[in-house]
Amino acid sequence: MSEMKILFCASEAAPFAKTGGLADVAGSLPESLHKLGCDVRIFMPLYRSVRDNLPSLHPVARNMIIPIGTHDYHIHLWESRTLSGTPVYFLEKDEFYDRSYLYGSPLRGDYEDNAERFIALSMGARQLCDSIGWYPSIFHLHDWQTALAAAYFQMNWRYDPKFGRSGTVFTIHNIAYQGVFPAGFFSLTNLPPSTWSLQGIEFWGQCNFMKAGLVYSDFITTVSPRYAREITTKDFGFGLEGILEERKDSLRGILNGIDVNTWDPQTDSFLPHRFSKDDLSGKKVCKEALCSRMGLENSCELPLIGMIGRLATQKGFDLLEKILPDLMKLPVNLVILGTGDTAIEEKIRDMEKLYANHLKLITRYDEEMAHLIEAGADIFLMPSRYEPCGLNQMYSLRYGTIPVVHATGGLDNSVLDVMVYPDTGTGFKFYDYEPDAFLDSVKSALDLFKEVRKWVEIQRRAMIEDFSWDKSASQYIEVYEKVLASKKGFGTRPGPKPGPIGGLV
């Protein structure tokens, strides 16, 4: 295979900036693709937190102009590298990204100029290529924040011979977040009027950025095979199911991997004691440490259940709320780590007061605590209503912390149900999104937990599952190859002639 050049365009990438799973993917997948021989580079905004924490930033270009609507904005480009040497390019535009949060503040919600901020990022991908004289074979775009680049590419960039054989891949990390703005915002994109249509980015009279990725990219991927099927249905497609159904031949689900170096119980520096499938004694030390941190030391012999995730309805907190009174009657402790919706937080806080000796909620973003919970808990809950992929269930499996999950999206693809496959299962699943089904599944896990030998067998099976990125990375390469194979013969593809699009995009 000749060296493939891939530009990852994403609004967040670990370790530089992270609010969720997208950052994990955009941070880890490039490293695995690099190992497989690709020249991969990452392009993202220069947020305040990135600038403050990254001492070695090198200037790439200054004062380039990006036209948003009728305004010309000056941007600057910077370069740094990941620890393994992958180039990362940052887009600077002071008032756009030099802020305390990535997308909005907890008090005031989404930033009002998010459309402009991410139009700039999408357009900036092209400016970057011209600045560094490096032209990718594939623009790999992620979520609505960079989806417009697929439209710019289709309408304009591809007519430049430098991009003649290039293509676009768009990855959906969560279709619930689409970047929908009032119709008036369309003029900010400087896309040709033809793109304002049912077959373009118009969506019930509004401007839908994610739709650009779905309509104009050469290939669409999402983060698990089951979610790829689910999003073509009304229940999970959030209004975009029709387009996805139309494009189902160019849609593939590829299960996310996890960063197996950061999440390794044998080397995890956050843990008071490390452990492996062959010697689980360190896991007990982690449990004791977690109990003592949470004030549960007097009941540490009870099964300890953990839960980590955004406090959002997606994550199944409504089910949890309904089963909590019954769950708390059982002899268990439950530790929850999460930030997000204050209404959800308040409800759990009320329950915490009622069951103060057995229920603990921590509402902060705390990487160390996340590792300690994954290591110290016996059982992990992920009752998500829907879950494109989910990472925590895979971390749990790797740490011998047996997951109880709703059989949806990536949860269904990554956990094998012990109740169905007693000799090979790695966790517990419930199939109907109902409180009773969830509670029954937790009870099955608690019953089996008492059978120590069987439990340890499940733990060992879970801990040897391979969730490294290597498997998924080769599937992405298959997708890239497919796209590039379709590009033979530049200029023969049907499509509109390049529009003026603000002159520069």
Site for ligand ADP, rule CB under 6 A: 20-21, 24, 308-310, 337-339, 365-367, 370, 389-392
- Report the chain's terminal Cα–Cα distance, integer Å: 31
The two structure tokens encoding residue 256: 């996310």
Find out whether the peptide bond into 15 is cis, omega within 30 degrees of 0: yes
Q: Which residue type sits at 78?
A: W
Q: Which of 219, 210, 168 is nearest to 6 (CA)?
A: 168
Q: Which single residue is written with the structure tokens 């304002």?
A: 196
Question: Based on CB atoms, which residue is closest to ligand ADP, 78 or 438?
Answer: 438
Q: How far is the CB of 224 from ligand ADP (least distance, A)?
A: 10
CA distances from 102 to 7, 38, 47, 118, 448 (A): 21, 29, 7, 11, 43
**Alpha-carbon distance 147 to 413, whole Å?**
26
Question: Based on CB atoms, which residue is closest to ligand ADP, 316 or 435?
Answer: 316
Question: Based on CB atoms, which residue is closest to ligand ADP, 326 or 367?
Answer: 367
Question: Based on CB atoms, which residue is closest to ligand ADP, 366 or 481?
Answer: 366
Is there a contact between 381 and 307 (Cβ–Cβ < 8 Å)? yes
Q: How far is the CB of 11 from ligand ADP (least distance, A)?
A: 13
- What is the secondary structure of 412-438 as a DSSP string? HHH--BTTT-TTT--BEEE-S-SHHHH
Q: How far is the CB of 385 from ligand ADP (least distance, A)?
A: 12
Question: Based on CB atoms, which residue is closest to ligand ADP, 30 or 390?
Answer: 390
Question: Based on CB atoms, which residue is closest to ligand ADP, 64 or 240?
Answer: 240
Q: How far is the CB of 403 from ligand ADP (least distance, A)?
A: 12
Question: Based on CB atoms, which residue is closest to ligand ADP, 41 or 226?
Answer: 226
Q: How far is the CB of 339 from ligand ADP (least distance, A)?
A: 5
Is there a contact between 305 and 377 (Cβ–Cβ < 8 Å)? yes
Q: How far is the CB of 37 from ligand ADP (least distance, A)?
A: 28
Q: Select the residue whose beta carbon is closest to ligand ADP and give its number.
A: 21
For 120, left (φ over 0), alpha (ψ -120 to 50), or beta? alpha
Q: Which of 110, 178, 105 is nearest to 148 (CA)?
A: 178
Question: Based on CB atoms, which residue is closest to ligand ADP, 191 or 370?
Answer: 370
CA distances from 285 to 282, 374, 450 (A): 5, 13, 19
Q: How far is the CB of 493 from ligand ADP (least distance, A)?
A: 35
Is there a contact between 155 and 193 (Cβ–Cβ < 8 Å)? no
Q: How far is the CB of 169 from ligand ADP (least distance, A)?
A: 20
Q: How far is the CB of 378 from ligand ADP (least distance, A)?
A: 18
Is there a contact between 438 and 406 (Cβ–Cβ < 8 Å)? yes
Question: Based on CB atoms, which residue is closest to ligand ADP, 68 or 382?
Answer: 382
Question: Based on CB atoms, which residue is closest to ligand ADP, 47 or 135?
Answer: 47
Question: Based on CB atoms, which residue is closest to ligand ADP, 41 or 371?
Answer: 371
For residue 177, what is the DSSP state? Answer: -
Q: Which single residue is written with the structure tokens 């937190």?
A: 49
Q: How far is the CB of 146 from ligand ADP (least distance, A)?
A: 16
Q: How far is the CB of 226 from ligand ADP (least distance, A)?
A: 14
Give residue 77's Cα distance to chain centre: 25
Q: Alpha helices of 36-181 — where are they, by DSSP H?
A: 48-53, 94-97, 114-132, 143-155
**Alpha-carbon distance 82 to 142, whole Å?**
19
**Alpha-carbon distance 373 to 447, whole Å?**
21
What is the number of residues in the chain?
A: 505
**Alpha-carbon distance 207 to 204, whole Å?**
8
